Structure 1
Amino acid sequence: MTIGLEGDTSASLRARPIDVSAERSRTIGAAGRHYFNAAGSGLMTDAVIEAMVLHLRLEQRMGGYEAATLRAPELAAGYEAAAALLGARPDEIAFFDSATSGLRAVFDALRLGDGDTVLAPRSSYVSQALRMLALSRYDGVRLRIIETDGTGAMDLDALESELASAPGRTVISAVHIPTSSGLVEPVAEIGALGRRYGALTVLDATQSVGHLEIDVTLLDCDALVTTGRKYVRGPRGTGFVYLRAGMLDGIGGWAPDVRGSVWTGAEEWTMDDTARRLETWEFSVAARLGLGVALGEAIERGAAQTEAHLVSSGTRLRDGLADIAGVSVTDPRASPSGLVTFTVDGVAGKGVSAQLREARIDSISVPAGHAQWDLGARGLASVVRVSPHVYNDDDDTAALLRHVAGIAREASR
C-alpha cells in the first residue's frame, strides 16, 4: 500500500535506487558534517521543518484550536500514512509523543497482574526493560528473560518452552532492532509462536520503522510501538502505535481520556473502538504535521529500497571497521541492518564519540545502562553506535573510517 505515488507500480518502485544526492539536497543537516546518528534522531528534510513552522505561524495568528481545525484533513491523512507504512489500517493507528509513551499505554491497557507472564528478549531497551521490571516488582507479573542462540538473536526453542509452560495470560515484549547493536530479531517467527500458544506480541520497532520494510500482518504482532524521530526522519516528540483491531476487546482502557472516550452519564462512559482509545487530547499539532510529511516521504522513497540501501551501508561500515587494527565490531551475527556498533581498544565509547564529534562526525556512545540484559551480559561497558541513512554518501563513510583508524592508532601508542 502506498500513497502519493500515482503511476508507480510496486515492481518499478523496488527497482528504483535511492537518490542520495537528492536526499542530501533536501536535508540541510547533511551539509558541513558527517551525520551517523539516525538511530538516535534522523535528519529532517526541509519540507518537514517547513510544515511545522508554517503551522506555528498559523497558531500565532489565529490560536491553537482554530489552527488545528483548519489542519484537520492533514492530521487525518497522518493516520493513513502511518498505516500505509506498516501495512495496517488507519483505525489501527494511535499517535503519541514517543514510543515509550505508546508502550506504556499498551501495557497499562492490558492490565497485567499477579499470575500473568511477560517474556522479554535480552535485546530490550532500557525503557522497555524497566517497564517490565516494574510490572514484576509492583504488580506480581512473572518476568522471564529469553536467552539468545548462537547468532545472538532470541532463542526460539527457549521461547517456545516458556510459552508452553507459562501460567495465566502471556505477553511477548519483542524487539525488532535493539538500541545496542545491529541485531535483527526473528520477529515473524516470534509472533507466530505467540499466536500458536495464545500469547500477545507487543513489538518495539523504534529502530526498524523507516529502516526495514514492515508489514504488521506478516510479522504477526498484536501491537507495535515506534518513534517518529529516528529512521522515519520526523520531529522529536512524536511516536505512534499499531494496535491490532480487537486486541483490547473486553479489557477497556486503563486511562480513558476525552480524546478516545465519551462521558455519557454521571458514572458511565463509552470508548472509541479504534486504536485512538489510547490517545490523549493534547498534542503538538505542528509536530504531528511534520511527522505526517516525514511519513509521506518515507513511503515515497520506498521501504524496500530504503532497507536495501541501509543494509548495504551497514555491511560496508562493518567491513571497513573490521579492517582497522584495534577496532572490534560488536554486532552479533544476526545483524543484517544499517545500525553498526563497535569498540576501540583502550578508549571508552564516550571518548570515541567525542573525538569523532570534533571532526564533525556524529555518532553516539551506548552505555551498558541502556541495555543491561545485552551489553551488561556481554561484559561491554559501552559501544560506539553509527547509523547511516539515505543522506549519507561515500565521503561520509570515508571520513568516519579514516578518523576511527586515527583514534585507534593514537590509542595504541
Structure 2
Amino acid sequence: MNADPAGVGQLGDRAGTVDVARERAQTVGVRSAHHLNAAGAALPPVAVVDEVVAHLRREEHEGGYEAAAAVAGRIEELYAAAARVVCAAPEEIALADSATTGLRVIVDALRLNGSSRLLVSRSTYVSHALHLLSLAADTGAELVVIPSGADGAVDLERLERLLTGGPRDVVCVAHVPTSSGLVEPVREIGALTRRSGAAYLLDATQSVGQLRVDVGEIGCDALVTTGRKFLRAPRGTGFAYVRGAFLERLVPVAPDVRGAVWTGAREWSLSPTARRLETWESSVAGRLGLRTALHQLLERGIDVTGAYLASTANVLRQGLAAIGGVTVRDPASSASGIVTFTVDGLEAEAVSRRLAKRDVRTVSVPASHGQWDLGWRGVPSVVRASVHVYNDDSDVAALLDAVAEIARGAVQR
C-alpha cells in the first residue's frame, strides 16, 4: 500500500496529544476493517461495551428494576458528565434515546400555532425537517429556510432580516450537517437570536464529541445530541440541554411519570428540571455505556480530539482532491471530521459498496436525507467518510488508494 498516496504527509505529526495507538488498542473494530463512519455510528471502545454487557448480566441475575436501583448513583453521574461536555448544569440535562426524539419532544413542547415562525438552516437533517414540515402543515406555522451564503453556511445578514423580534420566531440549526463537513456559525446565530428574543434550538448530533460545544458561548436555548456518533456510545442513547429559563416555556405534549407527578384526579405537576422531558423506560445498560464514553472523552480532551479529527479529515480532503475524477463536495471552509465526495460516472451508493468490499467502511448520503442542502445544490448523493481518534495513516491510505482504483475503473468503463 502506498504510504503517502496523495503526497500530503502523515498523521503522526498531527496527532497532538491523542495517543492513536492506545485508542486503536481499545477499539476492537479496527482489527477487521478501516472504519470511516463515525458520523453514522462510531466504533465503541472496549470499556463502553464491557459496561453495557456487565449491566445486562446484572439484569439477568437480579432483574431490571433491581439492577437499575443498584446503579442509580452512576446514572446521576451521567447527567453531570453530559453537563460538563456542553458546559451546562446537570439540572439542564435530559436523557433521550436519540437526538431526533429529544428535538421532537422539545419542539412539540413549544406548542406552536399559526402565529409561530420556524426559521431553519439548509443543513437541517431529514428527520427534523419532516417533523417541522408536518408541524407547519398541521398548525399553520410559517416555515422559512434560511438562505445560505457563498460558503454554504447560514447567511447571517439574511437571518437578521428574517427575525421579527420576540418568541414567535423559533430558529433551528444543525451545527454540522449529515451531508458535508460544514460547521455553521452557531455563536453568531446565537448573538442574533438573543438580540431578537427568538428561541434557538441547536441540533448538535454531529458536533458533540468532536467540536468544543459551550452552550453559554453559543447562546442556544436548547441543544440535542446522540450517543452513537462522535461520542462513541451505544446506539439508543442521547441527551438534550435546555437552558433553565427556557424550560418554563416547554409544556410536554405527553407528560410521563419520569418527569411529572399526578397530583390529583385532573392535576399534575412537572419536574422543575429538564427531566420533565424524559420518559420512564430506557436502556440502563446503554446509559451506563454513555456515561463511560463521556468520561473517556473528557479524559482525552475535547479540544485535542477535535483538532485531531479536523486535521485527519483535511488530509483526506487534500488526498481526494488530487485524484482524477473525484470531486470533494465539502465547502472550502469545512473544519469538522466529516468528508464528502463523489466519483464521476458512479452513484455514491455504488462507490460506498465497492469501498466496503475493500474493507473500507463509509456511507452514502442521498439528497432525500438533506433536500435543503444536497437537493438545493443539485447533488443527488455523496459518499461520506468520517474519522475518529482510532483512525490512523493506514485508514487514510486505504481510503485514498481504494477511491483512486475505483475512479480509474469508472473512467475505463
For the superposition of Structure 1 and Structure 2, which TM-score range results when normalised by the shorter chain? Answer: over 0.9
2:77 is aligned with 1:58: no
* Equivalent in the alignment of 1:143: 143
| SS at structure 2 position matched to 1:385 | strand
- How far 1:206 moved relative to its partner? 0.4
Tell me which amino acid in the other structure corresponds to 2:366: P
* Equivalent in the alignment of 2:321: 322
* Equivalent in the alignment of 2:211: 212
Distance 1:274 1:167, change over 3 A: closer
CA distance in 2 between partners of 1:246 and 1:167 (Å): 15
Structure 2 residue ranges without an equivalent (≥5): 1-14
Tell me which amino acid in the other structure corresponds to 1:264: T
* Equivalent in the alignment of 1:10: none
Give per-residue Cα distances to partners, 1:286-334, cap 9 Å, x unaligned. 1111111011111111000001101101110000000000000000123
Distance 1:191 1:167, change over 3 A: closer
* Equivalent in the alignment of 2:220: 221
Contact 1:153 1:334 survives alignment (8 Å): no
* Equivalent in the alignment of 2:80: 80
* Equivalent in the alignment of 1:163: 163
2:376 is aligned with 1:368: no
CA distance in 1 between partners of 2:64 and 2:167 (Å): 46
Contact 1:331 1:342 survives alignment (8 Å): yes
* Equivalent in the alignment of 1:4: none
Contact 2:37 2:385 survives alignment (8 Å): yes
* Equivalent in the alignment of 1:183: 182
| SS at structure 2 position matched to 1:269 | strand
CA distance in 1 between partners of 2:141 and 2:167 (Å): 10
Distance 1:27 1:251, change over 3 A: closer
* Equivalent in the alignment of 1:239: 238
CA distance in 1 between partners of 2:106 and 2:332 (Å): 31
Contact 2:247 2:274 survives alignment (8 Å): no
CA distance in 2 between partners of 1:215 and 1:36 (Å): 27
Contact 2:173 2:201 survives alignment (8 Å): yes
* Equivalent in the alignment of 1:33: 33
CA distance in 2 between partners of 1:250 and 1:133 (Å): 22
* Equivalent in the alignment of 2:333: 334
Tell me which amino acid in the other structure corresponds to 2:191: A
Contact 2:38 2:387 survives alignment (8 Å): yes
Structure 1 residue runs of 4 or more that deviate by more than 4 Å after TM superposition:
none
Tell me which amino acid in the other structure corresponds to 1:64: G
- How far 1:251 moved relative to its partner? 4.5
Count of aligned pairs between the two proteins: 398
CA distance in 2 between partners of 1:265 and 1:120 (Å): 40
Identity level (%): 55
- How far 1:132 moved relative to its partner? 1.2
Tell me which amino acid in the other structure corresponds to 1:204: D
Structure 1 residue ranges without an equivalent (≥5): 1-14
* Equivalent in the alignment of 1:96: 96
- How far 1:117 moved relative to its partner? 0.4
CA distance in 2 between partners of 1:381 and 1:251 (Å): 38
Give per-residue Cα distances to partners, 1:239-271, cap 9 Å, x unaligned. 110000021315532221110111111111111
2:195 is aligned with 1:199: no
Contact 1:367 1:382 survives alignment (8 Å): yes
Give per-residue Cα distances to partners, 1:159-209, cap 9 Å, x unaligned. 001003x68611100110000000000001011101110001100000000
* Equivalent in the alignment of 2:48: 48
2:130 is aligned with 1:154: no
Contact 1:314 1:339 survives alignment (8 Å): yes
CA distance in 2 between partners of 1:78 and 1:405 (Å): 44
Contact 1:81 1:292 survives alignment (8 Å): yes
CA distance in 2 between partners of 1:296 and 1:49 (Å): 14
Tell me which amino acid in the other structure corresponds to 1:59: E
Q: TM-score, with normalisation over the residues of structure 1?
A: 0.95
